[in-house]
């Protein structure tokens, strides 16, 4: 387990603000200093406000968990910041019965600066909750913080903040949320497979397997991520790193599994843009009550899609990924 996952949020903040301590074996590419410093400031403020709100509510501190995924890529930071806004907005609804406006998606390729809008909106939403409860937020100044370029520490902190915020919700992220994110991933994969007319872009549902747990969904999603990393390496594209994908961590929640599913969407969205696919994937609709077994079944479709995609890409010269069909399947 990475040492970054063994420590509470506020101690992790100290490591984040001291890059020499938090840095692991290889340094990530340098980030624009202003963006990195602003992200550090915003995440630090969010973490301290969240801890204050947690103590006000009488809720326990939730330990971090090592999902065995490493990333310093802006797109992965962006999707985890978006997850943070979704949870903050759900908490706002539970406290004040109102929703905020979703952050606008980036116009082009996701860069580090694009992490700021969903992170800022998540923090402002959290502060709306605090004002409703008459809690005075923490005040931070940018001059008080050193600049950091340690994106991997930012990624770990985002995962940890999402986990803690989920624990404050009355309606936690549930198997239904995981299922909908997997539905979105299969929609992306279907569009990607439409470049190969000879391939069935939406395979049949595999058999339903009852009695599944979140850990079963996690292991199969990690298998999907492992296949995605091979595809990206073949195409010479940057991609996250994973450790042993075949063993699930202890204490997994549906919210943790959702984080993995959203990282799959992050990779497929990046590939989508790299290939210049214009038609957006269909968005999932509310599926009703779902169990981990339903997600396992849906991941089976995604596994079959990615197996086909990997086979098609490996069979072609490096960089040749086919052409988009004018009549893609759902």
State mean pLDDT over 116-124. 97
pLDDT of the residue at 327 = 42
What per-residue string of b and e applies to 171-193 under the rule 16 or more CB within 10 Å gives b? Answer: eebbbbbbbbbbbbbbbbbbbbb
Does a structural domain hold residue 154? yes
Q: Same domain for 42 and 186?
A: no
Q: Binning pLDDT at 50, 70 and 90, where does residue 279 land?
A: confident
pLDDT of the residue at 29 = 42
Q: Same domain for 23 and 154?
A: yes
Q: Same domain for 13 and 155?
A: yes
Q: What token pair was written down for 67? A: 């999902």
Does a structural domain hold residue 321? no
State mean pLDDT over 248-253. 87
Q: Same domain for 34 and 85?
A: yes
Does a structural domain hold residue 323? no
User: Is residue 324 scored above 50 in pLDDT?
Assistant: no
Does a structural domain hold residue 329? no
Q: Same domain for 148 and 188?
A: no
State mean pLDDT over 93-110. 93
Q: Same domain for 134 and 103?
A: yes
State mean pLDDT over 17-42. 56
pLDDT of the residue at 142 = 54
Q: Same domain for 187 and 161?
A: no
Residue 15 belongs to domain spanning: 3-168
Q: Same domain for 152 and 78?
A: yes
pLDDT of the residue at 22 = 36
Q: Same domain for 58 and 159?
A: yes
Q: What is the pLDDT of residues 206-233, one digit of tens each?
A: 999 999 999 999 999 999 999 999 999 9
Does a structural domain hold residue 106? yes
Q: Binning pLDDT at 50, 70 and 90, where does residue 250 land?
A: confident
Q: What is the number of domains present in the chain?
A: 2
Q: Is 66 exposed, middle or buried (0-12, 13-18, 19+ CB in 10 A)?
A: middle
User: Is residue 131 scored above 80 in pLDDT?
Assistant: yes
pLDDT of the residue at 27 = 37
pTM of the shown model: 0.86
Q: What is the pLDDT of residues 157-190, one digit of tens each?
A: 999 999 999 999 999 999 999 999 999 999 999 9
Q: Binning pLDDT at 50, 70 and 90, where does residue 321 land?
A: low
Q: Same domain for 159 and 200?
A: no
- CA distances (Å), origin 247, targets 62, 210, 304: 22, 20, 21
């Amino acid at each position: 387990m990475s040492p970054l996952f063994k420590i509470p949020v506020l101690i992790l903040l100290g490591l984040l603000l001291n890059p020499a301590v938090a840095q692991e074996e290889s340094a990530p590419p340098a980030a624009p200093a202003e963006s990195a410093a602003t992200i550090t400031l915003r995440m630090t403020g969010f973490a301290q406000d969240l801890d204050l709100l947690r103590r006000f509510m009488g809720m326990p501190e939730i330990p971090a968990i090592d999902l065995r995924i490493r990333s310093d890529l802006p797109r992965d930071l962006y999707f985890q910041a978006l997850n943070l806004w979704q949870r903050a907005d759900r908490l706002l609804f539970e406290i004040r019965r109102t929703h905020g406006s979703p952050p606008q998606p980036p116009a082009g390729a996701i860069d580090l600066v694009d992490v700021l809008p969903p992170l800022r909106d998540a923090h402002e939403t959290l502060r709306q909750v605090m004002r409703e409860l008459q809690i005075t937020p923490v005040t931070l100044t940018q001059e008080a913080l050193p600049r950091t370029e340690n994106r991997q520490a930012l990624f770990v902190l985002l995962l940890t903040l999402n986990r803690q915020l989920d624990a404050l919700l009355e309606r936690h992220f549930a198997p239904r949320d995981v299922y909908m994110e997997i539905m979105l991933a299969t929609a992306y994969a279907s569009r990607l497979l439409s470049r190969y007319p000879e391939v069935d872009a939406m395979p049949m549902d595999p058999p339903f397997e009852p009695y599944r747990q979140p850990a079963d969904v996690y292991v199969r999603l990690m298998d999907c991520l492992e296949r995605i990393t091979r595809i990206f390496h073949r195409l010479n594209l940057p991609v996250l790193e994973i450790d042993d994908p075949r063993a699930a961590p202890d204490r997994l929640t549906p919210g943790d599994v959702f984080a993995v599913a959203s990282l799959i969407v992050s990779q497929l969205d990046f590939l989508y843009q790299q290939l210049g696919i214009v038609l957006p994937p269909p968005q999932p609709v509310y599926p009703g009550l779902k169990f981990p077994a339903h997600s396992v079944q849906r991941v089976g479709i995604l596994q079959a899609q990615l197996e086909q995609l990997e086979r098609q890409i490996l069979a072609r010269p490096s960089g040749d990924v086919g052409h988009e069909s004018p009549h893609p399947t759902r």
